[in-house]
Amino acid sequence: MKVTFWLLDINSETTNDATELWLWGIDEKGNRVLVVDRSFVEYFYAVVAEDFEPSKVAEEIREIHGAATVKLEVAERKLFGKPVQTVKVYCRNPAEKAKFARALRNLEGIKDCLEDDIRLSMRYLIDNNVVPCAWHEVDADEEESAQCTRADKIYAAKSPPRLLEKSDVPSLRTLSFHMTCYSREGAPKPDRNPVIIISTVASTGEERQFLPNTDNNDKSLIQEFVAYVQKLDPDIIAGYGTNTLDWNYLRERCRTLGIKLDIDRACTEPHTSVYGHVSLTGMANIDIADFADQFPEVKVKTFRNLAEHLGVAKTAESPVIEDVDFADYWDDKHKRTALKQFSMDSACSVKGMIELLLDFAMQFSSLVSLPLDHVMTAAVGFRVEWFLIKHAQKIGELIPKRVEQPYRPYAGGLVLKPQAGLHENIAVLDFKSMYPNIMIAYNLSPDTYVSPKEQEPASGVFTAPEVKHKFRKAPPGFYKEILTYLIGVRSEIRDKMKTLNPESVEYRVLDARQKAVKVITNAAYGYAGWIGARWYIKPVAEAASAWGRHTIQTAISMAEKAGLKVVYGDTDSLFVTYDEKKTRELEKEIEKELGLDVEREVYVRIFFTEAKKRYAGLRKDGSLDIVGLEVIRGDWAEVAKKVQEHVLEIILKEKSSQKAVSYVQSVVDELKLRKVPFRDLIIWKTLTKPVEEYAVKASHVEAAKALKSRGWRLAVGDKVGYIISTGEGKLYDRAKPHVFATIDDADVDYYVSKQVVPAAARVLEFFGVTEEDLLKIAARKEQAAKSLMEFMK
């Protein structure tokens, strides 16, 4: 019979002589189905050395390793664009594949073995064009479940499923959860500290809270949670930080308690898998923390900050309860309710976030073919790579191995020195998708590179400026094909979106898709220059940036010839004096001569410092565009950022440095009297390595040590918030974690002289106001106030 299903998850089960692919999905009636395909045979490629006859090599493999092979096929493939002869070796024992490939590498006539490092489930998806988060049709027979499987129906596939053109998403059951543990001895440890609350919210809105029945006995709590998950049978389980914390904790805790964390659809326990995601067989475990890097404007990526940014924080004004305070709240009868509420609110926020973010994850998953539970956990480089692998397979390009490479930097984009000061009426011309378009225009690709040793192909070559790397003109390389496809698809999607109601489900799904497409398109250049890339060929990235520099330089000449003054530029943008007619002509010329679309934005007024990458522009609608300055940096105290922002506003809108100076003074006065919110004094910095590994002492590291000694759990990548307190010694001696400090501890002189005044002076020094001026004025006022006080006495 024909079964139509939407693919949610895939896993493989291998024994010594059998391979099963388990495809978990949802059919059109809403049944949760498992389709088992037993037809797949694992294989790898043996690349035949030059001057060897592939059929002879195959014959030899058969003679020596006949028992280990199911069959052997001679096949022509490409490797970095060059034709190679291979023997495709199908393995009898899937578990021995890598070992078998290693043995064959030593065989005479075999240069290398490839693709033995591709995981079975991915291999299956790629080879059969089976796509996660997409609909398929399969010819299959229903069968009885032999093992523990929580599926409404189980089928045995007669052949691999076929992808269907059907873009809707079935209705999914989602469970969002939040877990709280109890510890009086620092960070909770699963071998000794219990779970005290698990709050869950289902997509139906059903809320549940699991609590210990007698104090601090969590065995029944977890058992009830497990039973509930089994009963609800969700397709998606979402939480925050769950890949790194919650699942491991639960798993370990269950081991300690002697119970089974039996919640997935194959009656197995959660297990950590590739890219550090935790896999729940048959369902998709999603960690909202993996989405955080999409929101660079959220500087301190706590669960609460992200929820607030997305507008889904349950009760915006209720206090955040820190992990270390959980025990106190739990033990205090009056505060326990607040803790329970906090936990439930958190679960609700998770639900709110997953509702906003799931579309994007599903579109990403289907675009690059990584299963839904891995795709957001995998770094961008790997998402790009899987997309490439999928295409490579289609064109017979072998998937190279990742090889360790020494890091060799190369020249990147060109940045012009800005004309410091205020400018009126400036147009910014941006070359749209410059790197992807350059890669398309000059056919830059790992498989089109012509090394100096090689003969030039008949098609002729494009030679990159400065670096002189050569790329064949034809036929198109696989980057060109992919990028052309991606750019085309994105514009198709955007055209279609224009015909839809922005509130509609379809619009939302398409918007998620075009975002995913954009990410892959923009990351292709970076991927090409990444030493960890399977298809790393430095000249590809180096040529792209060389052509980029050439492009912007050409555009500068054009602008100058047209009588437009260039005041700044960075990589793919030019800031020119705006003249409606001349600018339009320049844009046309760039589009015609350089083949790049130009996007224009006009600033009424713009301010440049002497430094590159730091400026602020005033748009027509009155809004400010602040770039690179302290205002948008996460490692400056809010008090300084607010002052600088307001100074910029006064300068850009009113051009009054006098007014700006008196504003700065007023804040300095308030700061000296500690009349500013305490949180505006907190400085946040990321721990980029374990605290022991720092070569020099630093404030945030000292603050981190203090936190750790008081039970805080801190990992690399976490942000530490501290203030500079009064007292003796270096700054790092006076850094206090913000949670241990009050405004009375703050060294206001530090905040005046090292935060507020420098941030303000960064702008005001172009108007003749120095740091000393700002400090002096403040000091003089202070002196005057003191004198007055004396007098009053």
Is residue 527 involved in binding DNA (CB under 7 A)?
Answer: yes
Residue 56 structure tokens: 């002879």
- Near DNA by CB under 7 A: residue from 81, 465, 634, 711: 634
Name the minimum Å distance from CB 744 to DNA: 21
Part in contact with DNA (CB under 7 A); list of ranges 318-326, 654-662, 688-696, 782-790:
688-696
Name the minimum Å distance from CB 627 to DNA: 4
Site for DNA in 592-611 (CB under 7 A): 609, 611
**Residue carrying structure tokens 């390009």:** 397
CB 284 within 8 A of CB 236: yes
Residue 28: how many other CB atoms lie within 10 Å: 12
Residue 283 structure tokens: 């369902």
Is residue 758 involved in binding DNA (CB under 7 A)?
Answer: yes
**Residue carrying structure tokens 């079975």:** 120
- Near DNA by CB under 7 A: residue from 386, 684, 712, 751: 684
Nearer to DNA, 185 or 599 (CB): 599
CB 711 within 8 A of CB 324: yes
Site for DNA in 707-726 (CB under 7 A): 719
- Near DNA by CB under 7 A: residue from 312, 523, 637, 707: 523
Is residue 550 involved in binding DNA (CB under 7 A)?
Answer: no
- Near DNA by CB under 7 A: residue from 291, 342, 382, 479: 382
Q: Is the dihedral of CA 353, 356, 362, 363 positive or negative?
A: negative
Counting Cβ atoms within 10 Å, is residue 259 exposed (0-12), middle (13-18) or buried (19+)?
middle
Is residue 688 involved in binding DNA (CB under 7 A)?
Answer: yes
Name the minimum Å distance from CB 290 to DNA: 11
Residue 265 per-residue DSSP state = T
Is residue 689 involved in binding DNA (CB under 7 A)?
Answer: yes
Is residue 731 involved in binding DNA (CB under 7 A)?
Answer: yes
**Which letter, b or e, does each residue of 204-241 get, where b requires 16 or more Cβ atoms within 10 Å of its Cβ?**
eeeebbbbbeeeeebbebbbebbebbeebbbbbbbbbb
Task: Tell me the CA end-to-end span of the chain in Å, nearest whole number.
Answer: 98
Counting Cβ atoms within 10 Å, is residue 79 exposed (0-12), middle (13-18) or buried (19+)?
buried
d(CA 699, CA 8): 46
Q: Which residues lie closer than 8 Å to 604 by C-beta, 6 or more apart?
A: 424, 425, 618, 619, 620
Nearer to DNA, 181 or 746 (CB): 746
d(CA 80, CA 109): 20
CB 39 within 8 A of CB 141: no
- Near DNA by CB under 7 A: residue from 570, 645, 747, 765: 570
Nearer to DNA, 508 or 614 (CB): 614
CB 240 within 8 A of CB 287: yes
Nearer to DNA, 1 or 695 (CB): 695
Nearer to DNA, 348 or 392 (CB): 392
Is residue 291 involved in binding DNA (CB under 7 A)?
Answer: no
Site for DNA in 762-781 (CB under 7 A): 762
Q: What is the DSSP string of 595-645?
A: ---EEEEEEEEEEE-SSTT-EEEEETTS-EEEESSGGG-TTS-HHHHHHHH
Part in contact with DNA (CB under 7 A); list of ranges 86-94, 241-249, 530-538, 582-590:
530-538
Name the minimum Å distance from CB 272 to DNA: 15
Nearer to DNA, 138 or 384 (CB): 384
d(CA 727, CA 742): 14
Nearer to DNA, 300 or 489 (CB): 300
Residue 26 structure tokens: 């949802």
Is residue 156 involved in binding DNA (CB under 7 A)?
Answer: no
Is residue 411 involved in binding DNA (CB under 7 A)?
Answer: yes
Nearer to DNA, 612 or 781 (CB): 612
Is residue 736 involved in binding DNA (CB under 7 A)?
Answer: no
Residue 263 structure tokens: 């919640």
Question: Any idea how long the chain is?
Answer: 793
Nearer to DNA, 732 or 767 (CB): 732
Number of residues that bind DNA (CB under 7 A): 61
CB 317 within 8 A of CB 251: no
- Near DNA by CB under 7 A: residue from 80, 507, 678, 694: 694
Is residue 380 involved in binding DNA (CB under 7 A)?
Answer: yes
Residue 409 structure tokens: 């930097």
Nearer to DNA, 13 or 745 (CB): 745
- Near DNA by CB under 7 A: residue from 701, 723, 752, 763: 701
Name the minimum Å distance from CB 382 to DNA: 6
Is residue 410 involved in binding DNA (CB under 7 A)?
Answer: yes
Helices (H) and strands (E) in the chain, counts: 22, 29
- Near DNA by CB under 7 A: residue from 464, 699, 723, 769: 699
Instruction: List the one residue out of 164, 167, 130, 170 whose CA is nearest residue 493.
Output: 167
- Near DNA by CB under 7 A: residue from 1, 146, 695, 789: 695
Is residue 545 involved in binding DNA (CB under 7 A)?
Answer: yes
Is residue 465 involved in binding DNA (CB under 7 A)?
Answer: no
**Which letter, b or e, does each residue of 110-144 get, where b requires 16 or more Cβ atoms within 10 Å of its Cβ?**
bbbbbbbebebbbbbbbebbbbbbbbbebebeeee
- Near DNA by CB under 7 A: residue from 390, 513, 700, 736: 700
CB 438 within 8 A of CB 551: yes
- The contact pattern for DNA, residues 299-318, with x = CB under 7 A and - = no contact, is x-------------------
Chain residues binding DNA by CB under 7 A are 296, 299, 379-382, 384, 409-413, 415, 522-523, 525-527, 529-533, 541, 545, 570-573, 609, 611-614, 627-628, 632-635, 684-689, 694-701, 719, 730-732, 754, 758, 762
